[in-house]
Chain A
Amino acid sequence: MTPTTVETIDIRRFVLALLSDVAADRNFERRFKSGHRDLHRFFWRLAQDEPTKAFVAQLLFDVNGNYPYSSQIDELLQEFQLAGLLARPNPTYRYNDISFTTPTYADEFRKGLSPEEQSDYSKILERFKAELCVPRR
């Protein structure tokens, strides 16, 4: 299989793969923090670092406010919410619950990556879990 080039990494597939991997990890709860600032900052930091920026190459960030913001991330999460893949439970809205368990998103996404990209993806996943996910007690 021809490795995926950086230009072809689809942000939608990438985010779904991250969520799918978190959902499949028994050490973490199936949710991630919904804090706007932390969430956008996470993706913005990916866009700043050389090996990881390819994964978020489709995102444009506004950095004129008090924290980096990409409306594309909001739109994606809104769509996942509309589709029922995510849910924000009342009353606090502090988390996005991941409402799917299928590993297909992550499996399919990984298949399209070169070995180096797979390794970079695994590092991003660990960062995502460490910064935004909740370990299971």
Chain B
Amino acid sequence: MVDDFLQRVNAFVAESLEGYKPERHAREKSIRDAIWGTNRLYPWEMAIIDSPLLQRLRDIRQTGLAYLVYPTAEHSRFDHTLGMVAVASKIVRSINDRYYGVQKDPRINYKDHMLVRFSAILHDVGHSCLSHVSENVYGGMPEFRTLRAQLNRLFGVTPRPHEIMSWLVVRSQSFKDFVQGLREKSILTGWECTPEDLDAIAGNIIGYRKNPAEKFIADIINGPMDADKLDYLVRDAYFAGPTVVYDLERFLQTVDVITYPRDAEIGDETGKVTRLSIRMEGVTALEQIIISKLMLFSYVYHHHKIRCVEAMCHEALRGLVELSRQKPEDKVSLWLGHPSAFLRVSDRTLLPLQWPLEIRIAGAKTTGEILTMLAKRELYKRALIISRLFIVDIDEKEEVRKGFEELLKCGEDTTAGDSLRHHVFERARQLMGARTHKSQTDSLRRTFDTHHVFLDVPKAPTIEETVGVMVPVTHNRHGAEDTFVPLLDVFPIEKWVDAYNAIKWRGHIFCLDEAVPYVNFAARQVLAGSPYYLRFTPPATTLCKVSPDLAQSELVF
């Protein structure tokens, strides 16, 4: 499976780089960034950044369709990539500063610094259209699940789908040849970047490092407190608009490289691992980062309208995958029959208005319809809000808690989710056909189908930022053994996450605007029955702006 993917991705990389002349672009540049100011990029970095492989990231929005809700959230994966290079360099320099005067050689040497920067440049190269929206689609395809399981067996890591795609790009022969070309053309000078180094870069991207004593280098790129997070938190907030701040200076002053014991069962003979960590005096800065992330979930990532457009787009992409799998590549203009095909798609190839028509002609009517709606910003509306706060008797009755768990399962289990959605749709259609409504719903009933109802059950945020992080409680900088406590012991972040889930977490049922009252009523009926037994308080309906008369009056139906 890995070889099959590598072959397909290699073909994509070769096509992308065909005819590209890096020597025309290879000169040092200073690039301004709204977040981090002016950043210097080296000639060999510019040769990669200006290549079509990286330039395609200009056309992939960092926060997917969030710009339909926050108009200025138009920043791209490209902007974020450059920002991450700046932050990764800041982390390296801060660590080296910490050891200045303590040891002769820098803690992270020049070559490793350059490899960290390369890794940052390439970390998102595998992203596809609308970032995480498409990732959730191809990541669920059976071939991709098998690939992920294989990589897990090989490297013991659990990367996200786009990280695996980036890993494939960097490991591809065409990319290795390209970097070899940079050396031959004397663009990459002053240090050596061998094919083995490229494998190490690919490893950094998925959070893997062969030597546990070097794990901290991968941590800068993909770890509990990586440069990726430090950039996207502040960048997403800045461009979307909400004010979210954290104390980066304090974080950088206290970030450190720390060696501590590792479980014998998973470790090597040294029994140790060296990781990026933070000293006790920086824990509050780390707390700020984590709380900022939770705030961004509330403001942006879990915003109901953003979840709605993402659910619509997810549905459209699923339709395109189905269509592509039924028809050969040359019969579908936007062929997505294999996960690697997503590398060829960016935002502008997905959303233009001519596609929906072609897609409809090709046989995916619903997909065409949804893409047309997205292009015109005609969005589905909330028909019901699912929140722990709005469920009657959840603290009193075990049956209700069990039912809520059944509902939450639908987020992961697409069969269960599709079945619930179909029940709601069927019930809503019956209601539309009832005698009292028949005349008003004639045209709606003719077009209404299952795809006009979406169930959205987002995953709750987890505590990945603190997993396995040990905090030194002593101040030994001269090689003496430190004493550590697990970060979770001094900062039980679960409390914040639990509070977020109890208060802020929301799932939704979305549907066509004109169907909202019917779907609201149908959803409440279906969810009141077996196996859910859920009854909702009025805000679950009224906050959806469904007319209170319709929401409360069972008589209407």
Contacts and interface: CB of A to CB of B under 8 A. Distances in A.
B404 A62 contact: no
A34 B463 CA distance: 13
Interface stretch (A25-33, A98-106, A121-129): A98-106
Contact of A61 (B148, B156, B209, B502): B156
Contact of A63 (B156, B492, B494): B156
B72 interface: no
B263 A41 contact: yes
A78 B462 CA distance: 8
B405 A83 contact: yes
Nearest to B468: A65
Contacts of A88: 494-495, 498
B176 interface: no
Nearest to B203: A64
Contacts of A74: 462-464, 467
B505 interface: yes
B452 to A, nearest CB: 27
B468 A66 contact: yes
A81 interface: yes
B482 to A, nearest CB: 14
Nearest to A36: B488
Given A64-B209, A74-B462, 13 more contacts: A16-B405, A44-B265, A64-B157, A66-B262, A67-B266, A71-B158, A71-B462, A75-B462, A83-B404, A84-B404, A90-B495, A101-B398, A104-B402
B167 interface: no
B397 to A, nearest CB: 10
A65 B273 CA distance: 7
A30 to B, nearest CB: 12
Interface string A53-72: 00000001111111111110
A78 B497 contact: yes
A84 B397 CA distance: 10
A14 interface: no
Given A84-B401, A99-B401, A64 B488 contact: no
A85 interface: yes
B156 A100 contact: no
A79 interface: yes
A65 B274 CA distance: 9
A51 B19 CA distance: 55
B498 A85 contact: no
Interface of A: 12, 16, 34, 36-37, 41, 44-45, 48, 60-71, 74-75, 78-85, 88, 90, 93, 99-102, 104
B394 interface: yes
B99 interface: no
Interface in B488-520: 488, 492, 494-495, 497-498, 501-502, 505
Nearest to A104: B402
Given A64-B157, A66-B275, A100-B402, A82 B502 contact: yes
Contacts of A34: 494
A60 B460 contact: no
Interface of B: 148-149, 152, 155-158, 207-209, 212, 215, 218, 260-263, 265-267, 273, 275, 388, 394-395, 398, 400-402, 404-405, 408-409, 412, 459-460, 462-464, 467-468, 470, 486, 488, 492, 494-495, 497-498, 501-502, 505
20 contacts: A44-B266, A60-B148, A61-B152, A62-B156, A64-B155, A64-B156, A65-B215, A65-B275, A66-B262, A74-B462, A74-B463, A74-B464, A79-B405, A79-B408, A79-B460, A80-B405, A81-B498, A82-B408, A85-B402, A88-B498
Contacts of A81: 498, 501
Contacts of B149: 60
A48 to B, nearest CB: 8
A82 B263 contact: no
Contact of B157 (A12, A62, A79): A62
A82 B240 CA distance: 28
Contact of B408 (A41, A63, A83): A83
Contacts of A71: 158, 462, 464
Contacts of B400: 84
A132 to B, nearest CB: 16
Contacts of B266: 44, 63, 67-68
Contacts of B468: 65-67, 69
Given A78-B462, A83-B408, A84-B388, A66 B157 contact: no
Nearest to B222: A64
B412 to A, nearest CB: 8
B77 to A, nearest CB: 23
B485 to A, nearest CB: 12
Contact of A93 (B261, B402, B404, B495): B495
A76 to B, nearest CB: 9
Most buried by B among A65, A70, A75: A65
B392 to A, nearest CB: 13
A52 to B, nearest CB: 15
Contacts of A65: 215, 262, 273, 275, 467-468
A84 B408 CA distance: 11
Nearest to B260: A66
B402 to A, nearest CB: 7
Most buried by B among A41, A75, A83: A83
Nearest to A48: B265
A133 to B, nearest CB: 19
Given A63-B266, A65-B467, A100 B486 contact: no
A74 B436 CA distance: 48
B403 to A, nearest CB: 9
A65 B158 CA distance: 12
A102 B398 CA distance: 8
Contacts of A36: 467, 486, 488
Contacts of B261: 66
Contacts of A63: 156, 266
Nearest to A66: B262
Given A63-B266, A102-B402, A84 B395 contact: yes
B464 A82 contact: no
B402 A66 contact: no
A63 B401 CA distance: 34
